[in-house]
Amino acid sequence: MNKAGRPLRRYVMLVMVTWSAASFPDETLTVSNAWVREAPPKAEVNAAYLTIHNQTNQAHKLVGASSPQFQKIELHEMKMVNGQARMQRLEKLAIEAHGSVELNPGGYHLMLIKPLQPLTAGGTVELVLQFDDAPQITVQAPIRKADDADETPHRHDMQDMKM
């Protein structure tokens, strides 16, 4: 190719690279709006809330979570049973392709069991989310005072839960 054609060739290549990058958004799982409510010093359980966004072309499942600040974390859902709110443990939670799932008060949430230290507003909780066939995601969830949490109060019915 002669020297006069090189700038055109570079321009065409630049346009192709830019087009291909714009045509395929980041195909990842991401997390937003993570938070934990401040708990009384002797509380044995608490909950974490967040939103998982699936920007991939396939469904994924949240299959577990852990934290260095708790003995155990379980995935739960609040459900109405005979007019009473009950908590049910889930083994997994599906996140559809190009969809999102909200974990929030009164719905899906991560049940934080047996804290290893008190949780105070202004601190953070490290959450490690595990997925069926996607890389784990580590999130720093801020701890908020209950008054700052923008939530409706609810209580966990623990009678069906085994620890």
User: What domains are defined for the chain?
Assistant: 29-148 (2.60.40.1890)
How far apart are the C-alpha atoms of 106 and 109, rounded to whole Å?
A: 8
pLDDT at 55: 95
Q: Nearest CA to 124 among 149, 139, 142, 138? A: 142
When the pLDDT of each residue in the chain is averaged and rounded to a whole number, the result is 82
pLDDT at 148: 59
Residues 6+ apart with CB under 8 A from 46: 36, 37, 39, 111, 112, 115, 119
Calculate mean pLDDT across residues 57-81.
95
Calculate mean pLDDT across residues 148-161.
45
Phi and psi (nearest 5°) for 17?
-65, -45
- Reported as a pLDDT band with limits 50, 70 and 90, residue 81 is confident
